Amino acid sequence: MRNMSFSMTTDQMRRKAKTVTRRMGWKNLEIEDRVRAVVKVRGLRKGETVEPIGVIKIESLWWEPLRDITDADVVREGYHNEGRDWFIEKFCKAMKCTPLTMVHRIGFAHLNVCACCSRGDEYNGYPHESGPPLFRCDKKGGCPCHD
């Protein structure tokens, strides 16, 4: 399973308030793909490991100019108190692009599965923070979210 970083929106992902993301790449992504959402992929220091947030299932994909984002999509991006102009400025600054840049708009659903081992049938939708997992994953040495 591929990892997708949400370093700038970790809190929104943990709260499941984010269901859309815009990316400059991810050209090979397809609808129905499952992706592991993680805090960050690049820039890990020696000894650091990828920190999983959850697993998402891709539901919609298209390319559009960044300037076409709507206020409703800003909310789907996890920003409930900001508008499209704010988002465009923030994105352009972070990604070093312009409002005319074509971005990959990716819509997704949060799955109730373990972010480490991707098992979920026995999980019964308990988020890690509020309920005990009903199984231990098969990850060698155990799964940190089940300890």
User: What digits encode the pLDDT tens for the residues 18-69?
Assistant: 999 999 999 999 999 999 999 987 777 788 788 888 899 999 999 999 999 9
Alpha-carbon gap, residue 119 to 117, rounded angstroms: 6
| Six-digit token string for 90 | 């923030």
Burial 83-119 (b: 16+ CB within 10 A, else e): ebeebbeebbeeeeeeeebebbbbbbebbebbbbbeb
Total residue count of the chain as it appears in this document: 147
End-to-end CA distance of the chain: 22
Per the model's pLDDT, the better-predicted residue between 3 and 130 turns out to be 3
For domain 2-111, which CATH number applies: 3.40.605.10, 3.10.400.10, 3.30.450.20, 3.30.950.10? 3.10.400.10
The per-residue pLDDT for 139 is: 55
The predicted structure's pLDDT at residue 134: 38
What pTM does this model have?
0.79
